[in-house]
Structure 1
């Protein structure tokens, strides 16, 4: 069986291999690594990669398709809870007051809500990165909110931490788990037992968070 994979070269010391949620395989390698060495790594993990890429579904399916129209009575997830939408007259900004107050001018316009979610993610998630980094004793170059779909977060070879804006829909203990997970890669690049011990020490709700993502990940991936 031949496995297709993408190779990213970066200034780092070790080879790592990951399977994205779209089942694509990505190998990150030190600059100048011989293609044969990369191929040997993929070959050595072939059984594991086969199981990962043939996994039936990463997340539990949704019980029913979520509504995407911004109409009164519809609800959207925010920080782990569903809140009702209420349309009001006017064309001002979206507001949150234990429900979403949406000017009627934005009705049916999901980009406006997406922009609101991204702004909230920047305000509420990025400070968590700084806080957890201090607790872990690590330093990153930049933390930012990203718009990719197939990762909740990533720690780049340049020590930048990127977190998916969709996380703002999840409870804070899930957000903290993803943040700590990515920061732990600044200490241990691979998912070794040491890596998971580091994550668990800073995110004691790790198992609960992983179970929550298993159950609700498909909901988070919706645009709204």
Structure 2
């Protein structure tokens, strides 16, 4: 528990990563054209994630948008790695997972943590490659790692990034988690 990072809830002005780059969370307070969440440059130096609508719904709206962005990025990378390995995932799910970045069921259903969208793109790409490789090899033996590396040359760099910074991604969320 000493390693669990201090939470960063989705409150006005909070700084959080998106695809590895820090953004400021801002309430737009009124509906802006172009969607519920907008990415825009700001005068403060950080790009902004501008969430429109009622303030009390903004954290949930941001979370929902991050889930959608994670799904979109993962869909693209799963298609890429599936083609390279000649396999197909049965279904892809994005969830609020606390103990795994991804998983592959014996039936070919892939599940991923939404927090992968917070990491640099090569990290999300690695987890997608890792899980799609499990459709071929349901273990972590030498054949499995060779498959992952064949489709993801930055595998070692991504694994190291997750070891160093992965736990920190669990600090971000729509509300402070209760302990106990």
Q: Does the residue aligned with 1:221 lie in a helix, a strand or coil?
A: helix
Equivalent residue number for residue 82 of structure 2: 133
Equivalent residue number for residue 177 of structure 2: none
Match of 1:186 among 135, 140, 158: 135
Pairs within 5 Å for 1:139-218: 139-218=88-167
User: What is the total number of aligned residue pairs between the two structures?
Assistant: 164
Q: Does the residue aligned with 2:131 lie in a helix, a strand or coil?
A: helix
Pairs within 5 Å for 1:1-224: 62=5, 65-72=6-13, 74-91=14-31, 93-97=36-40, 98-103=47-52, 105-106=54-55, 109-224=58-173
Shift of 1:109: 4.7
Shift of 1:193: 1.2
Shift of 1:124: 1.8
TM-score (norm 2): 0.80
Task: Give ranges in structure 2 of 5+ residues lacking alignment.
Answer: 41-46, 174-180
Maintained 8 Å contact 1:114/1:223: no
What is the root-mean-square deviation in Å for CA atoms of aligned residues?
Answer: 2.3
Structure of larger gyration radius: 1
Task: Give ranges in structure 1 of 5+ residues lacking alignment.
Answer: 1-55
Equivalent residue number for residue 178 of structure 2: none
TM-score (norm 1): 0.66
* Structure 1 pair 109–157 and aligned structure 2 pair: CA distance change class (3 A): same
Q: String of CA shifts for 1:56-90, please: whole Å, max 9, x gaps.
A: 98xx664xx24324213x21111011112233332
| Structure 1 stretches of at least 4 aligned residues deviating more than 6 Å after TM superposition | none
Maintained 8 Å contact 1:84/1:99: yes
Maintained 8 Å contact 1:180/1:203: yes
Distance in 1 of aligned mates of 2:107 and 2:55: 38
Maintained 8 Å contact 1:87/1:107: no
* Structure 1 pair 204–213 and aligned structure 2 pair: CA distance change class (3 A): same
